[in-house]
Amino acid sequence: MEASILAKGGLMAFATLLGYTVPSKEQLPDTWAKLFTDEGINGIKFWDLVNVSVLLIVIATALMHKKNVEAMGGQVEPTTWAIFIMLGAFVSIAGLSKLVMNFSQNKFQREMK
């Protein structure tokens, strides 16, 4: 807990040194503040958005790589495809497992009411 507080203070000091102001939680709109809570906005949390963004970046990078290799007259190696697939699978599995756990927990809570 103390390490996260020190990291937050260090990050804010670094941002201030660079000339940026970091708003406090009270200064954020309610929608943004809810994004960082356990409930999120309609069950969608900040890290869910990060997982989706990372997955889209992996897919876009794979497609750009394919386009560049084919433009040079080559063909993408199967090993390269395997690496992109493994990256995408890792992000998907990590994100989907949390999503499934949240839905099953919500279903269990509704049944227990």
Write out the two tokens for 32. Answer: 């943004």
Question: Do 31 and 41 contact (CB within 8 A), yes or no?
Answer: yes
Please state, rounded to an integer, the average pLDDT across all residues of the chain: 82
Sequence spans of domains, the chain: 1-28, 37-112
pLDDT band at 15 (very low <50, low <70, confident <90, very high): confident
pLDDT band at 22 (very low <50, low <70, confident <90, very high): confident
pLDDT band at 113 (very low <50, low <70, confident <90, very high): low
Q: Is 23 helix (H, G, I), strand (E, B) or coil?
A: coil
The 10 Å Cβ neighbour count of residue 45 is 19
Give mean pLDDT, residues 65-69. 96
pLDDT digit string (tens) for 33-59?
888 787 888 878 888 888 889 999 999
The pLDDT value recorded for residue 42 is 82
Task: Say whether pLDDT at 20 is over 80.
Answer: yes
